[in-house]
Amino acid sequence: MSVTTSPSVSLEMRRGEGERRKLPDTVAEEGGIVCLLEGHPHEEEMSGIYTAVLQGPRATPMLQSAQAVLSPRADDGEEGEPDVIHTPEGSPHSREVTHTPPVVTGELTHTPEHTGVTAHLPQTHKPATHDTTLTLTGETTHTQQTNTPVHPTSHTAPGPSTQEGRVREEGGGGGVEAKEDGEREKEGGMQWTERKEAPRRNLWSLRERGMNERRNEGRREWPRGGSLERTSQEGCGMGWRRGGKMWKEHSRDGEVEDGERDEARSVLEEEKRRVKETPHHHILSRVLVHSSTSSSSSSSSFNFSSPESDEVFSEGEETSSRRRIMRRCRSWRTFLTMMQWSKRRQSSWVQLAGHQGNFQLSEGGEVLKRWSETEGACLSLLMSDVLRVFVPRYYGPLSRNGNDYLRLEDLLSGLTHPVIMDCKMGVRTYLEEEIAKARMSHTLRNDMYQKMVKVDPSAPLAEEHAQGAVTKLRYMQWRDSVSSSSTLGFRIEGIMLENGTVLRDFNRTQSIGQLIDAFLTFTKSNLHILRAYQSRLQALSDVLHESEFFNTHELIGSSLLFVHDSSSKANVWMIDFGKSMPTPEGIHLQHDVAWTEGNREDGYLIGLASINRLLAKAIRRARGSGLERSDSQTLAGDREDEDEEENTQSVQYGSLNPAQ
């Protein structure tokens, strides 16, 4: 069987600001497999995961992301599965790959002189009777998410316009062509259906638009205080990783034929087994996690094995180590299968802080957060509060396979290389009820003792060392006191930089100077971004004073999520209401005064004011690097202020009152 993909396989790379590059020297085969041959001149830059846009009437939506590195070598092949690359002499860019695994035999020939790519495919693949064009974009874009119910919006647009399509959509013009289901099916005879609702708008779009509609939709779906609706008919498979175990749901949608699915599944199992035996690698593990999801799922789970671990794709990875790891992925067929099954949309989504395994990326620009009655109630109220513009949209609860979730707007959706920072707000991160509980029972936590010792071996008391454990309250109070929570009313939980590096070591980041440095690192001292944050926080501050929700709730353990991307737009979101409680009758919180047990004050506004103050200082310092005379004088003045503040930073807004 011979299949021709035409007119070309083009691969567009978008990394960094405005950088776009077409890289035509790639190899593809039907089904959306794209690989970059080892030694390809762009191999290094191209390493990464790319989102594929399948086009053409018979393009099967089998691939949504692909690792654009393939390093099969003759000597890497397992017995019975030789992978051979022939490099025609004198033709550095042209290679012939002959693949002869036991079950699948096939051949891919790439002729860069021509625009076409010819693929001789094994019989196990479905025949393609029409031309197929495959385009990869090396960036995150939610519009390509093609879980069964979602059709790639770029179906009628060439790959490079994928981004443009999204931008048009953001602009509110609805520029992306969206055809009705029937039309699509007629057109291509495809088995997928179009999701009529346009994919989620971008973070930066005017959020008011459609908000009421959404809210009403939310109300319809789930009356406040009502019970959870089962909405598993959404039918999207999803994987959830918990304690290293993966369970799967399988979609009812059968894009991939059963035989193929079973076969691929067994190959996948084999690969998982093999990967277990190989050292963990960020890129590979991410690919594997993705490919472990059900075949027709666009959902995926992220597993951050420890707060320090960083499974985010690291672009700073050493090339040779990348190659080494990818070589371990040596079965051509397995690799292809992994790619084919990697059906989730590509996203830079990361869970920066919080409980591991609490989130899943879902389809349609949503994330699923593990259900919490308290958080659900807060989000419900917030959707009709003035604060709603600062809160991810809440689409109601969702039950799936016996698990309940909150459906939330994915705040990273549509962003290219987002840069994010999570600041936990407030002068304390535990509820007063937790103090009462701690008094009743002295449950000891070894895990918290371990975390404590890791940060400061001298922190536990002799008794705690002896028992190798601490109470949760003790740990939480210690956490608040060694970070900037107690003194400044907020602390940095984590930062993800543009290149995917995740910084989480802020346990003891407490001084003004350290925090300003962190802000400058986070914003790369970009004045535009710093100012954008400042103005967003000012707006938040104004709205908080108007908010009924804020007036009537104690916000504990809630975060502000700072997000910007390469376009220098910046936004701040209020997230995590899992411990936000309605204040008892008769208590009216001011949010900007010190906490003493019983007054329930959370110090949220103390934190906000501190961040604002630090941003102002960071701005002055960033400006100072411009070396205008007046600025450098101000800068020197600032430094003195900071030193002074650092020395006088003993005010504890959270009055430590250990219960033990």
Ligand X SMILES: O=P(O)(O)O[C@@H]1[C@H](O)[C@H](O)[C@@H](OP(=O)(O)O)[C@H](OP(=O)(O)O)[C@H]1O
Ligand Y SMILES: Nc1ncnc2c1ncn2[C@@H]1O[C@H](COP(=O)(O)OP(=O)(O)OP(=O)(O)O)[C@@H](O)[C@H]1O
Binding site for ligand Y (CB under 6 A): 350-355, 358-359, 367, 392, 408-412, 422, 557, 559, 561, 575-576, 578
Residues of span 448-467 touching ligand X by CB under 6 A: 451
DSSP character string of 440-497: H---EEHHHHHHHHHH-TT-S-HHHHHHT-EEHHHHHHHHHHHSSHHHHSEEEEEEE-
- CA-based R_g, the chain, Å: 26
451 binds, among ligand X, ligand Y, none (CB under 5 to 8 A by kind): ligand X
Q: How far is the CB of 559 from ligand Y (least distance, A)?
A: 5
Which one, 255 or 602, has the nearer CB to ligand X?
A: 602
Q: How far is the CB of 340 from ligand X (least distance, A)?
A: 37
Per-residue b/e over 172-183, b at no fewer than 16 CB within 10 Å? Answer: eeebbebeeeee
**Closest residue to ligand X, Cβ-based?**
557
Q: How far is the CB of 236 from ligand Y (least distance, A)?
A: 18
Q: How far is the CB of 494 from ligand X (least distance, A)?
A: 10
The phi and psi torsions of 362 (rounded to 5 degrees) equal -120, -175
Which one, 409 or 554, has the nearer CB to ligand Y?
A: 409
Q: How far is the CB of 577 from ligand Y (least distance, A)?
A: 8
Tokens for 78, please give them. Answer: 């397992």
Is residue 42 near ligand X by the rule CB under 6 A?
Answer: no
Alpha carbon distances (Å) from 465 to 239, 446, 448, 449: 39, 10, 12, 8
Q: How far is the CB of 555 from ligand X (least distance, A)?
A: 12
User: How many Å apart are CA 381 and CA 379, to the nearest integer?
Assistant: 5
Which one, 415 or 438, has the nearer CB to ligand Y?
A: 415
Is residue 472 near ligand X by the rule CB under 6 A?
Answer: yes
Which residue stretch of 194-202, 310-318, 369-377, 471-479 sits at the interface with ligand X (rule: CB under 6 A)? 471-479
Residues of span 310-369 touching ligand X by CB under 6 A: 355
User: How many Å apart are CA 297 and CA 364, to the nearest integer?
Assistant: 12
479 binds, among ligand Y, ligand X, none (CB under 5 to 8 A by kind): ligand X
Which one, 341 or 405, has the nearer CB to ligand Y?
A: 405
Q: How far is the CB of 403 from ligand X (least distance, A)?
A: 18
Q: How far is the CB of 43 from ligand Y (least distance, A)?
A: 31
Residues of span 567-586 touching ligand X by CB under 6 A: 578-579
Alpha carbon distances (Å) from 11 to 36, 42, 133, 358: 10, 11, 11, 35
Question: Judged by CB under 6 A, which of 68, 391, 476, 614 binds ligand X?
Answer: 476
Tokens 């990697």 sit on residue: 342
User: How many Å apart are CA 313 and CA 459, to the nearest integer?
Assistant: 34
Taking the CA atoms of residue 230, residue 235, residue 239 and residue 243 in that order, the dihedral angle to the nearest 10 degrees is 20
Is residue 557 near ligand X by the rule CB under 6 A?
Answer: yes
Which residue stretch of 11-19, 256-264, 472-480, 518-526 sits at the interface with ligand X (rule: CB under 6 A)? 472-480
- Strand pairing class (132-137; 2-14): parallel
Detail the DSSP E strand segments found in 24-139. 27-29, 33-35, 49-55, 65-67, 83-86, 96-99, 106-110, 117-120, 132-137
351 binds, among ligand Y, ligand X, none (CB under 5 to 8 A by kind): ligand Y
Tokens for 107, please give them. Answer: 């051949």
Tokens for 156, please give them. Answer: 């009628």
In 3D space, the residue among 602, 555, 558, 608 whose CA is nearest the CA of residue 582 turns out to be 555
How far apart are the two ends of the chain, measured CA to CA in Å? 75
412 binds, among ligand Y, ligand X, none (CB under 5 to 8 A by kind): ligand Y
Q: How far is the CB of 67 from ligand X (least distance, A)?
A: 32
575 binds, among ligand X, ligand Y, none (CB under 5 to 8 A by kind): ligand Y
Q: Which residues contact 553 (CB under 8 A, 6 or more apart)?
A: 378, 580, 581, 582, 583, 589
**Closest residue to ligand Y, Cβ-based?**
354
Residues engaged in binding ligand X (CB under 6 A):
307, 355, 429, 451, 472, 476, 479, 557, 578-579
